[in-house]
Each structure stands twice: as structure tokens, then as C-alpha cells.
């Protein structure tokens, strides 16, 4: 099954097993396919995930995997009954024991409000009944007795405050289910809940579980910010307000076996309910709070730092700019460094007159060379290094005490061409035959004709989030593969069937990965890939809308209709907006998932827990919503729709954008929205706090206005806001009904402004963070190209003009770095200058709540029907033996794991293998070489000038300065290498305003020859040297290609080494390329 390649892999495998079971009916051998089929259903069943929204599980006849365990169980029982003495029966008994495994866990809130009913969540599997008890314990027992050996015995011996049993419904699917039970309200104090499947509560940990909890109105939060200021805050869980003058005790545990509480310090809260600048020492610290009538201790400890750390240290850091990202051994590396200084969280400045030593390190981290430099008036420095010509290749680096930059040194050949895959001519659909086209083109412009093209198409399947329960959502299937040749224009095309996969009812989408590999006549290989996304329904609808909407303002909707490749498609759709029935009052969330099995009557639940949902809220059921808007739409791409919701009722809405396929299937895209009336102070009851915030980008001089609203009476909101400067503002609010928060934005706030909101309601704590950007627009220069050419002739003088402007478009006084390098090297390592001096926001203050959570009780009870262990059955198999070391070594297979394998190789075989390594073979289907001509026929033609400047860095100009009008001129000789180039510019002024700019350039000639020679040869080699001659003149040309070889030491000609003539004559049509070859004996 693991290696099966089939569109319906799972169903095919299952049907094959069922056929094998039918074929072996009445035979003892039927036990084996029956066991395999049962194991298959069990494995599939493990992929099922129950709904998390509390909806009842699907019925037995549904197509999901809920009942796979039951199917497996019946097959296993058949094996045990019909083949009781077989190995398969023993294995079946083991798997039956696994399926009937019992499990029980429970949850109760860590702190309950006094005299308020308590809710207990129960997750169970294969258990018919449970028993629960409540006992009261002391604070001393809560703090220290829980880890003692006799603690469970002491708990069971305590008198019960409440005791009850719960009959658990059996769904018959052998799976975990969730339900809830409750108990009456309790007085303030500490209690323990005991849980067992035995009414006698045995004093054995695996049979009885327990969890302590408090009954209190006090709540505690603690935080440590980046300045090491330890703080605590005390709140009232019922009213949501801060508790002033509360006693806060910091303590730690002393002793090993006989632990005791040792008080470190005692504090009293201020009017904000807080204590600040708490000293804790280097140890774990616990906190307890108390008032005249209430107490609460937490075992959630903190490690408080005993000394503050500086948050505003002045630091220096170096930013490097290299001419490129990859080099060959022995080449020259050019660099520019920019030294910055500043405090953490502040915009940096340039560091002038600073002595810096730049060191070059090799791939082993050893020092190669040093260069002492001093930063200039612009905070910059420049230099160059000659890279090691020998030694280990790989990642090397430049470094100083202020920072490092890495780069690669490799023995590479410059790429000559690239592969481009075209966009589809028309939108594809599942089931279509899709045509993929592309082109192989040299960086200098000529097409790569008659090249070998190898392709493959693989399909991956992705399911929507609600179908995660499928066991194999990421299978890869190869749909097509093959090879062909490119035409005279370097173009190629192939097709593949866009077949759908399994589980089509799950509404998956498919990603087709197209991989293309092109090898030219000189043996160079380049690759390209493309992804095509298709689905049963080829349209992908989307709705972009706010989550919070004011009824007094227009509702702006962004609707779009695209395919899975993000292309615009036409679609007839319908927009429906429904008002959902909300709760009668503001609700809070459970600490655990909603139950799928209900045993508490609805009336009793709503009486005891009015702020909790009984079952899945109607707010999530769009079918029960009241329609307030419906309109047909004709979409193509993105569309903006404006609606007026002033007459809509307050509450929660679901927006549905739907369309119907030609096959009758309906595709729906939804969005939830909460509508409030801020002018009338009317709010939806789906949540306790509503926030109306402006756009997340602001500018200095503006006033940020934030509105808080709530329909709940007992809610408190604690707000902290902090800007880039680190100044902290804090306050408490009770937004019944509305509170307006205003903050004037100044230049000091540039960067990020963060609001932290903590609200408390009905024994719940929630927090929300809002971030507003105040961008550094005053630090953005502009770069304009006044004179520039994208196509250059090699070896010609060039004059380019740039203009650098300030953010207000006035002339800038700036230092400029300009560089240009061979863009083909990006196939190895992409090189793009990046510079971002904007400071990061200081670490956000984070308040951590204590005891706003729940306690777990768990029992893992083993089913005793069958032994869960069975000996495995061994079958003959082949063992893998690797001949040599490394993952590329040959592999053979042996019937024994340690059997030796002898490989014999003759001397003649070794000599032939060595010669084969040295010989450079041509592709299987080569371009026919040009016709040879005599040397006398070409002596009358004067030889063209040789191109000599073939370096990969055309220029690196690190310290150009602008004129009074912000302009500068670049004078250089265009490089003679025929390829594409990346031109990059970086400019900065003395206030560190900056700009980056890049463009693509190509150097080419009307008649070009592009050789592809080996980098080294060995004595005795017989090789064929290849070169491509291209005509880009737009008309037919006649040309000659001549190869001359020289001894670099003596200067003598080596043409006698050629096996044939050195000159060929070529007739080239317009835009045609031909290959020329020379045979060489070394």
C-alpha cells in the first residue's frame, strides 16, 4: 500500500483485500486477509477527528471514519470465533483489547466563584458509569500534601461535601466522547474533586484520580517586562475590577521531605490593584493574595530576577554590502560597511571616525586576512579581499566586533541560459488535458535550440481544514513524464491529464507540480518548476470584510472570483447576509471543548450556567439565520461592494458568497461579522468586549481614537499602551456602555504603538493586542534614473545619470553605492541588498494570569479481556547492504544481514572506468556541427577583437557623492561577458535616510559566440569542445568560428592538438543559433 500509485489508492486497496477474503472463504488461509482488513479499518479509524464544535457525531451510515473501529471489531470477532487456534486469532485478540481500551479524564475550573454551581467536563471511552466526590481540604494540604505518599488515602477518608454518580451513554463506536456534569455552589475555601469508576474509590492512583480547586473571588496576574520590573495585579473575578489594599505574599518552599512555607516579602496593592518593583531573588517564588474575607494561593511559580537589566544600552552594529553572494577561489571580493550606533528601540545614527578591523575567515573559521579601516563622515568604510585560491570551499565570512556577513566560495561554471515556463493560454479544469509551454533562452538573449527537455508532473492533494481527519491528505502521484527537444526558437510544449484524486466528496484541491529540466548541446543543464492548482470547482470565492462593523457607517465588502492559480475568472454568484440568533446575555467560553453528549437538562443548565452555551450556539448555524440581504452578482476578479446596514438589527451576521457549478454543486465562502450601534450604545451579546479601532497605520500629528463598548454590566478592562520610546501608560476602565481612548501621536512615537487590553468578566480573563504602525516616512529617500539603458554592447563606454531626492522630493545630499554583477549567479545563490535600520519594538509586556484555567483528572484503565501483546510473525526478507560510505554508494540486497559481498574488478575494467571519467560525452542527440573549411579560405578575413573583460562583477563603486541638485553620474565600460546583469544602488544621507534600487540589464552583440569549455583537463584526455554561435541581427549572416589554443607560459600555439581543422564556416538565419565542435587530444 505504501508504494501504490493510484488515484483512488485507499478504496482500491480495501476492495483488493475484500476480494481476497471472498476468494479464501472456507479456507484456514482466510484468517490472514481478514486480519489485514481489520487492521486496515483500524488504521483508517485512527485518522478520524471528532468535531470540535460540540455538534453530535455523524450517523453510522455517514461516509466518514467514525465507525471504522466498530467495523474492525466485528471482523476481529469473526477471526477469533472461526479460527480460534491460529496466530491471526491471537493478533485479533490483541487488537480487540486495544479497541476496547477504556479511558477517562475530567476537567474542573481551577477557581470557582462562591455559591456558584460548578461544571465538570468528562471525556470517556468504553466506560458505562463514573463516581465523583467533593471533599474540603486545608490551605496547608493544598500547598504541601499533594505529593505525599498517603495523600490519596487521606483524601478518600475525608467526609464528602457532595457525592454523586453519572451514567455515561454508550454510542457504540468505541471512541472518546465528551459530556458534562455539575455540582452545587460552595463556600469560599479549598476543595478536591475525586473521580473513579468504582463507587468505593480505591486508594490506587490508577483507579481514583483527584484535582484540587479554590472557591474565591480573587484573581492574580504577574508580569516581567524587559527592564526586569516584576509586577503583580489583583482583580475581582466577579466584578472585573482591581482590588486595592489587597495583601500579596511572596513565598518559597523550604525543606525537602517536610516542606514549609517561607515568606519572602509582603506587599499591598495600590488603586490599580498592582504592586511593582518586586524583588524575588534567584529562586522559584509563589504568590498568595488575601483580603479581609477572601484568600487565594497559586502553585504557579515564577523565577524573578533579582537585579534589573539595562534596556537602553548604546550599541554599535555593522551592515555589509557585498558585490555578490558567490565567488570562485582566488577572486576579489568587494565590500562596503555601514556602521550604526544607537539605543535599543531608537532609530540609529551613523558612527563616524570609528576604527574598525575587518577580518576574512575561511570555511573552517580560520583567519585569512585583516584590513584596518576607519569610518568616514557618512559612517561607511570600503575595502576588498583576495579570496583563498586553495583550501576548503563553502561558506566563508567577513567579520568584525560589530557584526558578520557570510558568502559562498565554490568552483562553479557561470550559467549560460535559463528556463522560463509560460502562463497557461486558458484556465484549466480538472479532467482537462493541460498544455504546458516554455522556452530555454540564454541570458544574453539567444534561444537554446534543439536542447533536450525532460519533464515530470506530480499531483498532491490538499483537503479543507474540516477534513483533516482523512488519514492521507498529502499523497503524491506522478501523472506524466517524458522527454522532447526544443525548437529553433528554444520553445517546447507538452501535455498531461489533470486527473482528480480520491475523497472527492471532501472538496479537496490539487496541486500539480511541473518540473522541467533542459540540457543544451554543450551539456549544461538548467531546471524550472511551476505549480498549477485545480479543484472540482474551478472557482475560488473570497470575501474580505471587517469583523466589527458600526451600523452608522457603510459596510465595505471586497469580493473576488479567481481560480486556484490566482487568475481572474467569471462567475455568476449570489451574496446572502443572514442575522444569526444570538444568546440572551453575554456569554463566556468554556476552558474545554463543547460536549457531544448532553446529560444535563437544558433548563437546569441555563439556570445554573447562564453565561455558557448549552450546545453549539445558533450564531454558528447559518441555516437558522434570518435573511437581511440577497443579491445576484456577476464577478470577474476583484469587486468592491458598499452596503448600508443602518436598518439591520444588532448582532452577529454571516455573509455567504455562493455559486453553482454546471454539475449542480454549490460552492460557498463565508465570513462572520458583528454589527454594533456605537451611537446608540447597543452591542452584540456574542462577546463581552467590543473594540472599534482605526486603520493600523497612523502619522505623527494625528490623534489615535480607540472605542471600547460592552453590553455586560460587570466587566473591567485594564489598558496599557506603549510606544517606540518605551513610555508606558496604564489605566482601568469600565466600558458600560462606551469608553473613548485618545492618544496624540508625536514624532517620538514613530515605529510601533502597542495597546494591551485585559478584560475580566464572569470569572474569565481575556486579552487582546492592537498594533499601530507609525512608519518612518521621513527616512525614505527616492532614487530616479535619469539616463539608463537596459541593453548594452560589450566593451563600450557608458554614462548613466541618477538623481537622489529627499522624502519631500527636494535634492538630497547623500553617499551612493552602485554595483553590477552577473545575474546568472542568482541560480546558485540569490543576491539582493537589504537594509532595514528601523528599530524593532521593544519586547511586549506580557501579563500572565494565574489560576484562570482548569485542573485535569485522568484515568487510563486497561481492558482486561485479552492480552494486548502478541509475538510478531517473521517473514523472509532482503537486507540492504551499502557498498562503500555515503548516501550515494551502491546498494545491493542480501538474504542475511551480515553476509559479506565480494566485488571483483579487473585491471582492464578499472582502466576503462578511469578513461570514462575523463572523457566528456556529447548528448545523445547532438546538433550537427558546422561544415569545416580550409584554413586558406579564412586567411583573408581579419580576426575580430578578443573579449577579455569577462569578470562577474562589472563594477563596484562604494562612495559616490551627489551634486547640489541630488544628481550623480556613473561612467564605466560595459562588461564584455554576454549575459544578464543586476544593477543595484544604495543611497543614504547623514541622518540615515536611505533608499534601495535595482534593475536588470543585458549585454549582447548581433553576432555572438558562447563557448562552453571544461574548467580543467588531464593529460591523455580526448574531449570535444563546444561553442554556440548566435545571430541576433534580424537578418541572415555568414560567419566563421575559429579556435586557437596557446601555451600560457611560452605563448606558442597548440593547434596541432586539434583532431581536425580549427575553423568552421556557418550560415545563420535570422535569430538562429548553431553549434561548432572541435576534437582535442590533450
What is 329-409's CATH number? 2.60.40.1930
CA distances to 149, 330, 647, 828 from 395, in Å: 58, 15, 66, 13
Among candidates 1003, 562, 693, which has minimal Cα distance to 823?
1003
In the chain, what are the domain boundaries? 9-99, 102-215, 218-309, 329-409, 428-535, 540-676, 690-775, 778-823+948-1002, 1007-1081
For residue 385, what pLDDT is reported?
97
DSSP states of 846-860? --EEES-SEEEEEEE
Any idea which of 126-130, 682-686, 805-809, 878-882 has the lowest mean pLDDT? 878-882
In tens, the pLDDT along 18-75 reads 999 999 999 999 999 999 999 999 988 887 877 655 444 443 334 468 889 999 999 9
Pick the CATH number of 540-676 from 2.60.40.10, 2.30.29.30, 3.20.20.150, 3.40.50.880: 2.60.40.10
One fold for 102-215 and 329-409: yes
Give 48-52 contacts, CB < 8 A, sequence gap 24+.
Answer: 48/175, 48/469, 49/468, 49/469, 50/175, 50/176, 50/596, 51/596, 52/593, 52/594
For residue 881, what pLDDT is reported?
67
Q: How confident is the model at residue 1043 (pLDDT cuts 50, 70, 90)?
A: confident
| 473 has a pLDDT exceeding 60 | no
DSSP states of 300-335? EEEE--SS---SS-EEEEEEEEES-SEE-TTPEEEE
Q: Please tell me which residue, 930 or 241, carries the higher pLDDT value.
A: 241
Provide mean pLDDT across the span 560-565.
84
For residue 726, what pLDDT is reported?
78
Q: Please tell me which residue, 741 or 6, carries the higher pLDDT value.
A: 741
Q: For residues 549-571, b (16+ Cβ closer than 10 Å) or e, as one string? A: bbbeeebebebbbbbbbeeebeb
CA distances to 107, 201, 519, 577 from 159, in Å: 22, 13, 84, 57
Cα 492 to the center of its chain, rounded Å: 35
Provide mean pLDDT across the span 226-235.
79
For residue 795, what pLDDT is reported?
87
Please tell me the pTM assigned to this model: 0.78
Q: How far apart are CA 463 and CA 466, in angstroms?
A: 8
For residue 58, what pLDDT is reported?
42
Residue 1040 burial by Cβ neighbours in a 10 Å radius (0-12, 13-18, 19+): middle
Q: How confident is the model at residue 927 (pLDDT cuts 50, 70, 90)?
A: very low
| 885 has a pLDDT exceeding 60 | no
What is 218-309's CATH number? 2.60.40.1120
Q: How confident is the model at residue 980 (pLDDT cuts 50, 70, 90)?
A: very high
| 723 has a pLDDT exceeding 80 | yes
Provide mean pLDDT across the span 266-277.
93
Cβ–Cβ under 8 Å, residues 308 and 282: no
For residue 284, what pLDDT is reported?
84
How big is the chain, counted in residues?
Answer: 1082
For residue 943, what pLDDT is reported?
62
CATH superfamily of 690-775: Macroglobulin (MG2) domain (2.60.40.1930)
What is 778-823+948-1002's CATH number? 2.60.40.1930
Any idea which of 191-195, 471-475, 876-880 has the lowest mean pLDDT? 471-475
| 900 has a pLDDT exceeding 70 | no
Task: Give the three cell numbers for residue 949.
Answer: 573583460
Among candidates 647, 652, 592, which has minimal Cα distance to 618?
652
Q: Strand order of the sheet with strand 525-535?
A: 476-485, 452-462, 509-519, 525-535
| 464 has a pLDDT exceeding 90 | no
CATH superfamily of 1007-1081: Immunoglobulins (2.60.40.10)
Q: Please tell me which residue, 657 or 204, carries the higher pLDDT value.
A: 657
| 213 has a pLDDT exceeding 90 | yes
Provide mean pLDDT across the span 396-401.
95
Q: How confident is the model at residue 2 (pLDDT cuts 50, 70, 90)?
A: low
Provide mean pLDDT across the span 1010-1035.
80
Q: How confident is the model at residue 622 (pLDDT cuts 50, 70, 90)?
A: low
For residue 794, what pLDDT is reported?
87
Provide mean pLDDT across the span 779-808.
92
Q: How confident is the model at residue 905 (pLDDT cuts 50, 70, 90)?
A: very low
For residue 788, what pLDDT is reported?
85
- What is the share, in percent, of the chain residues with pLDDT greater than 70? 85
In tens, the pLDDT along 988-1010 reads 999 999 999 999 999 988 888 87
CATH 3.30.43.10 fits 102-215, yes or no: no
For residue 430, what pLDDT is reported?
84
End-to-end CA, the chain? 54
For residue 956, what pLDDT is reported?
97
Give the architecture-level CATH label for domain 428-535: Sandwich (2.60)
Q: Please tell me which residue, 1049 or 904, carries the higher pLDDT value.
A: 1049
Q: How confident is the model at residue 408 (pLDDT cuts 50, 70, 90)?
A: very high
| 965 has a pLDDT exceeding 70 | yes
Residues 6+ apart with CB under 8 A from 902: none
For residue 930, what pLDDT is reported?
41
Provide mean pLDDT across the span 670-689.
92
Q: How confident is the model at residue 519 (pLDDT cuts 50, 70, 90)?
A: very high
| 739 has a pLDDT exceeding 90 | yes
| 706 has a pLDDT exceeding 60 | yes
Mean pLDDT of the chain: 85
Residues 6+ apart with CB under 8 A from 776: 347, 750, 751, 838
For residue 1035, what pLDDT is reported?
85
- Please give the angle made by the CA atoms of 673, 676 and 679, to the nearest 5 degrees: 150
For residue 829, what pLDDT is reported?
93
Cβ–Cβ under 8 Å, residues 698 and 673: no
Q: Does residue 260 sit in helix, strand or coil?
A: strand
Amino acid at each position: 500500500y505504501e508504494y501504490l500509485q493510484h488515484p483512488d489508492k485507499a478504496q482500491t486497496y480495501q476492495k483488493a483485500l475484500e476480494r481476497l477474503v471472498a476468494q479464501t472463504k472456507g479456507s484456514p488461509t482466510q484468517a490472514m486477509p481478514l486480519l489485514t482488513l481489520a487492521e486496515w479499518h483500524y488504521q483508517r479509524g485512527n485518522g478520524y477527528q471528532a468535531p470540535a464544535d460540540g455538534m453530535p457525531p455523524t450517523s453510522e451510515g455517514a461516509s466518514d471514519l467514525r465507525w471504522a473501529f466498530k467495523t474492525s471489531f466485528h471482523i476481529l470477532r469473526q477471526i477469533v470465533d472461526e479460527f480460534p487456534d491460529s496466530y491471526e486469532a491471537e493478533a485479533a485478540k490483541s487488537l480487540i483489547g486495544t479497541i476496547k481500551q477504556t479511558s477517562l479524564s475530567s476537567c474542573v475550573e481551577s477557581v470557582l466563584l462562591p455559591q456558584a454551581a460548578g461544571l465538570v467536563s468528562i471525556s470517556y471511552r468504553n466506560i458505562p458509569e463514573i463516581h465523583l466526590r467533593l471533599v474540603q481540604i486545608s490551605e496547608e494540604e493544598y500547598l504541601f500534601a499533594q505529593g505525599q505518599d498517603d495523600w490519596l488515602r487521606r483524601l478518600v477518608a475525608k467526609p464528602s461535601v457532595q457525592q454523586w454518580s453519572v451514567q455515561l451513554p454508550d454510542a457504540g463506536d468505541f471512541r472518546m466522547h465528551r459530556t458534562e456534569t455539575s455540582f452545587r455552589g460552595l463556600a469560599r475555601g479549598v476543595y478536591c474533586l475525586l473521580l473513579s469508576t468504582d463507587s468505593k474509590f480505591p486508594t490506587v492512583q490508577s483507579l481514583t484520580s483527584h484535582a484540587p480547586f479554590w472557591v474565591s473571588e480573587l484573581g492574580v496576574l504577574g508580569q516581567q517586562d524587559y527592564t526586569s520590573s516584576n509586577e503583580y495585579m489583583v482583580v475581582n473575578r466577579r466584578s472585573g475590577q482591581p482590588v486595592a489594599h489587597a495583601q500579596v505574599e511572596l513565598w518559597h518552599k523550604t525543606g525537602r521531605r517536610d516542606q514549609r512555607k517561607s515568606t519572602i516579602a509582603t506587599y499591598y496593592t495600590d488603586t490599580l490593584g498592582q504592586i511593582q518593583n518586586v524583588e524575588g531573588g534567584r529562586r522559584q517564588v509563589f504568590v498568595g493574595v488575601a483580603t479581609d474575607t477572601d484568600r487565594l494561593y497559586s502553585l504557579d511559580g515564577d523565577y524573578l530576577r533579582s537585579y534589573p537589566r539595562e534596556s537602553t544600552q548604546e550599541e554599535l552594529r555593522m551592515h555589509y554590502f557585498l558585490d555578490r553572494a558567490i565567488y570562485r577561489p582566488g577572486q576579489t571580493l568587494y565590500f562596503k560597511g555601514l556602521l550604526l550606533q544607537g539605543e535599543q528601540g531608537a532609530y540609529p545614527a551613523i558612527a563616524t571616525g570609528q576604527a574598525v578591523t575587518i577580518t576574512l575567515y575561511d570555511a573552517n573559521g580560520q583567519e585569512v586576512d585583516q584590513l584596518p579601516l576607519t569610518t568616514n563622515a557618512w559612517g561607511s568604510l570600503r575595502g576588498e579581499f583576495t579570496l583563498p585560491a586553495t583550501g576548503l570551499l563553502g561558506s566563508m565570512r567577513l567579520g568584525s566586533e560589530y557584526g558578520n556577513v557570510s558568502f559562498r566560495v565554490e568552483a562553479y561554471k557561470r550559467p549560460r541560459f535559463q528556463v522560463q515556463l509560460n502562463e497557461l493560454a486558458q484556465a484549466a479544469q480538472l479532467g482537462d488535458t493541460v498544455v504546458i509551454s516554455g522556452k530555454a533562452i540564454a541570458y544574453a538573449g539567444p534561444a537554446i535550440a534543439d536542447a533536450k527537455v525532460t519533464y515530470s508532473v506530480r499531483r498532491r492533494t490538499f483537503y479543507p481544514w474540516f477534513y483533516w481527519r482523512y488519514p492521507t491528505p498529502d499523497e503524491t502521484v506522478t501523472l506524466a513524464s517524458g522527454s522532447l527537444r526544443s525548437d529553433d526558437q528554444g520553445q517546447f510544449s507538452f501535455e498531461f491529464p489533470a486527473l482528480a484524486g480520491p475523497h472527492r466528496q471532501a472538496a479537496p484541491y490539487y496541486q500539480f507540480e511541473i518540473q522541467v529540466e533542459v540540457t543544451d548541446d554543450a551539456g549544461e543543464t538548467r531546471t524550472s518548476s511551476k505549480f498549477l492548482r485545480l479543484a472540482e470547482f474551478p472557482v475560488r470565492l473570497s470575501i474580505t470584510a471587517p469583523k466589527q462593523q458600526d451600523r452608522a457607517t457603510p459596510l465595505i465588502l471586497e469580493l473576488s472570483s479567481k481560480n486556484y492559480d490566482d487568475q481572474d475568472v467569471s462567475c455568476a454568484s449570489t451574496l446572502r447576509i443572514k442575522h444569526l440568533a444570538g444568546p440572551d446575555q453575554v456569554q463566556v467560553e468554556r476552558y474545554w471543548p463543547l460536549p457531544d453528549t448532553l446529560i444535563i437538562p437544558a433548563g437546569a443548565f441555563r439556570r445554573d450556567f447562564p453565561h455558557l452555551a448549552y450546545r453549539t450556539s445558533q450564531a454558528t448555524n447559518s441555516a437558522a439565520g434570518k435573511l437581511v440581504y440577497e443579491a445576484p452578482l456577476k464577478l470577474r476578479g476583484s469587486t468592491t461592494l458598499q452596503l448600508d446596514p443602518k436598518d439591520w438589527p444588532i448582532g452577529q451576521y454571516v455573509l455567504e458568497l455562493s455559486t453553482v457549478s454546471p454539475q449542480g454543486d454549490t460552492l460557498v465562502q463565508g465570513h462572520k461579522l458583528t454589527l454594533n450601534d456605537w451611537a446608540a450604545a447597543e452591542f452584540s451579546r456574542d462577546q463581552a468586549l467590543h473594540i472599534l479601532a482605526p486603520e493600523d497605520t497612523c502619522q505623527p500629528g494625528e490623534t489615535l481614537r480607540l472605542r471600547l463598548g460592552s453590553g455586560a454590566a460587570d466587566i473591567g478592562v485594564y489598558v496599557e499602551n506603549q510606544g517606540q520610546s518605551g513610555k508606558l501608560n496604564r489605566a482601568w476602565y469600565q466600558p458600560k456602555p462606551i469608553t473613548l481612548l485618545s492618544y496624540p501621536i508625536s514624532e517620538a512615537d514613530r515605529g510601533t504603538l502597542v495597546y494591551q487590553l485585559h478584560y475580566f468578566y464572569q470569572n474569565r480573563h481575556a486579552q487582546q493586542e492592537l498594533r499601530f504602525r507609525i512608519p518612518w516616512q521621513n527616512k525614505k529617500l527616492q532614487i530616479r534614473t535619469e539616463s539608463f539603458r537596459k541593453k548594452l554592447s560589450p566593451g563600450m563606454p557608458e554614462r548613466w545619470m541618477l538623481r537622489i531626492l529627499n522624502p519631500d522630493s527636494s535634492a538630497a545630499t547623500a553617499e551612493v553605492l552602485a554595483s553590477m554583477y552577473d545575474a546568472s549567479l542568482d541560480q546558485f545563490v540569490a543576491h539582493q541588498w537589504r537594509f532595514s535600520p528601523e528599530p524593532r519594538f521593544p519586547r511586549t509586556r506580557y501579563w500572565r494570569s494565574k489560576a484562570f484555567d482548569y485542573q485535569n483528572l485522568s484515568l487510563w484503565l486497561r481492558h482486561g479481556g485479552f492480552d494486548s501483546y502478541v509475538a510478531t510473525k517473521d517473514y523472509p526478507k532482503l537486507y540492504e547492504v551499502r557498498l562503500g560510505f555515503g548516501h550515494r554508494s551502491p546498494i545491493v540486497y542480501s538474504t542475511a544481514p551480515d553476509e559479506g559481498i565480494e566485488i571483483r574488478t579487473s585491471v582492464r575494467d578499472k582502466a576503462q572506468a578511469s578513461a570514462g571519467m575523463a572523457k566528456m560525452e556529447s548528448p545523445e542527440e547532438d546538433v550537427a556541427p558546422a561544415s569545416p573549411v580550409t584554413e586558406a579560405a579564412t586567411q583573408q578575413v581579419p580576426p575580430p577583437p578578443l573579449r577579455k573583460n569577462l569578470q562577474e562583477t562589472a563594477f563596484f563603486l562604494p562612495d559616490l557623492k551627489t551634486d547640489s541638485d541630488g544628481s550623480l553620474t556613473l561612467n564605466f565600460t560595459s562588461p564584455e561577458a554576454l549575459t544578464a546583469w543586476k544593477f543595484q544602488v544604495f543611497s543614504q544621507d547623514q541622518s540615515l535616510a536611505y533608499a534601495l534600487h535595482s534593475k536588470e540589464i543585458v549585454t549582447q552583440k548581433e553576432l555572438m559566440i558562447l563557448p562552453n569549455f571544461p574548467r580543467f583537463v588531464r593529460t591523455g584526455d580526448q574531449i570535444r569542445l563546444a561553442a554556440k554561435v548566435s545571430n541576433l541581427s534580424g537578418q541572415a549572416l555568414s560567419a566563421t568560428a575559429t579556435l586557437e589554443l596557446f601555451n600560457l607560459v611560452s605563448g606558442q600555439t597548440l593547434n596541432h592538438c586539434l583532431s581536425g581543422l580549427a575553423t568552421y564556416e556557418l550560415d545563420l538565419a535570422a535569430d538562429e543559433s548553431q553549434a561548432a565542435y572541435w576534437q582535442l587530444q590533450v
